[in-house]
Amino acid sequence: MPYLNVAEVETALAVANTQPNNTITQLISLPNQTWEGRGCHALKIANGTGPGRPGIYFIGGVHAREWGSSDILINFVEQLLQAYQANKGITLGSSKFTAAQIQSIVNTKDIYIFPQVNPDGRHYSMTVDPDWRMNRRPAANAHPTCLGVDINRNYDFLWDYPVYFDPNAPIVNSKDPCSPDYTYIGPAVFSEPETRNVVWMMDTFPNIRYFIDIHSYSEDILYCWGDDQNQIVNQSMSFQNSAFNGKRGIANDATYREYIDPTDQAAIVALATQMRDAIKGVRGRSYTVEQSLSLYPTAGTSDDYAFSRHRTDPTKPKIFAYTIEWGSPSNATPFHPRYTEMQRIIREVTAGLLDFCVRAT
């Protein structure tokens, strides 16, 4: 079985919204067409309405070459809906979810799935250049051969990174449209229709309290922050304080560390650890739970943006945000392993997502 192509991902969402599921699903048309004119959709799964229902938001397919992320989320949708309709549980290795737990997810929570954020890039990666990472923003006149923006550097969190980071910080971002590592941040914050679609979901569904962005490759569950090491003491030492501009992004120094509420950090890590255990139960693979900075400092990423929204505007809900990095660096083709291996990865990450949905309240 091959990876789903762009049309097949969209078809799978449409099929999921047909009978008998259409009483508990809503196919959501996102407002911004891609640069190549593609429309995007998300799916809401929920039986019932009312105040107090937590919203859980999953996205995938952000980086074009990470083919399996969209497949993971389509599988998650299919597994959840099939089990709910049959009033059965789901067993994935030793990770087991009872029929009652599946019913509770759908009956008491709102699940939002946006599995293919970057269809233009996915199509190009699958048909032309397997290593393509970005979207397909047209080239500017000054750089006529350089296309694309890294969507996961285009969010409104320290986006204009040279202002905020120490010049010596090993940040993996670029203001060069011809960046050889495919990390061009775009001409402006939220310049990309794909980025705006992700944010539109958060703005439109204010009950969203949890967010997971699925990527590859490694075996990590990452939590905020990505700009510097966390600290729980000095609230004034935060991304909002311009007094610290030019000082962020150097690990293990005493100059700057990003504030996180200790209660939030404990809850975030606990959920990530439980998700890790559910993943491990499928076939023994142990994902590492760690702060995003542990990989390298970043700016403009989806998880930091989601978590920062409440800090910059207290009228917006607090969103606990994560990135899952699936796969294994030892794989010969880490971004698109053989599909037999990808199916194993799909099962284990699905277990992690189901566990997260059970525990998120």
Q: Give the integer Cα–Cα distance in Å for 57 and 210.
A: 6
- Contacts of residue 326, defined as CB under 8 A and 6 or more positions apart, other chains included, come to 68, 69, 72, 214, 215, 216, 217, 219, 345, 348, 349
In a domain? residue 340:
yes
Q: What share of the chain is helix, strand, coil (3-state, %, to 5)?
A: 35, 15, 50
- What pLDDT is attached to residue 89? 98
Q: Give the integer Cα–Cα distance in Å for 335 and 218.
A: 9
Per-residue pLDDT in tens (0 to 9) along the chain, 361 residues: 699 999 999 999 999 999 999 999 999 999 999 999 999 999 999 999 988 899 999 999 999 999 999 999 999 999 999 999 999 999 999 999 999 999 999 999 999 999 999 999 999 999 999 999 999 999 987 788 899 999 999 999 999 999 999 999 999 999 999 999 899 999 999 999 999 999 999 999 999 999 999 999 899 999 999 999 999 999 999 999 999 999 999 999 999 999 999 999 999 999 999 999 999 999 999 999 999 999 999 999 999 999 999 999 999 999 999 999 998 766 777 899 999 999 999 999 999 999 999 999 9
Identify the CATH number of the domain in which residue 279 sits. Answer: 3.40.630.10
127-131 long-range Cβ contacts below 8 angstroms, 24+ apart: 130/65, 130/335, 130/336, 131/65, 131/335
354: enclosing H helix or E strand? helix 339-359
Helices (H), 235-338: 262-283, 302-312
In a domain? residue 198:
yes
- What pLDDT is attached to residue 1? 67
Q: Give the integer Cα–Cα distance in Å for 59 and 303.
A: 11
Question: DSSP strand E in the chain: where?
Answer: 25-29, 41-45, 55-59, 90-92, 95-97, 110-114, 208-216, 220-223, 230-231, 258-259, 288-291, 320-326
In a domain? residue 273:
yes
161-191 pLDDT, tens digit per residue, is: 999 999 999 999 999 999 998 999 999 999 9
DSSP character for 54? P
Burial classification of residue 49, based on how many CB atoms lie within 10 Å of its CB (0-12 exposed, 13-18 middle, 19 or more buried): exposed
In a domain? residue 1:
no
In a domain? residue 351:
yes
In a domain? residue 226:
yes
CB 95 within 8 A of CB 351: yes
- What pLDDT is attached to residue 7? 98
Pairing of strands 41-45, 55-59: unpaired
Q: Which two tokens stand for residue 160?
A: 């204009």
Q: Give the integer Cα–Cα distance in Å for 42 and 58.
A: 10
In a domain? residue 302:
yes
**Dihedral, 12, 14, 15, 19 alpha carbons, nearest 10:** 160
In a domain? residue 239:
yes
- What pLDDT is attached to residue 329? 67
Q: How many domains does the chain have?
A: 1
- Contacts of residue 216, defined as CB under 8 A and 6 or more positions apart, other chains included, come to 66, 68, 69, 325, 326, 327, 334, 335
Q: Which domain holds residue 273?
A: 6-359
Angle at Cα 249 formed by Cα 244 and Cα 253, nearest 5°? 80
Q: Give the integer Cα–Cα distance in Å for 56 and 14.
A: 20
Pairing of strands 320-326, 230-231: unpaired
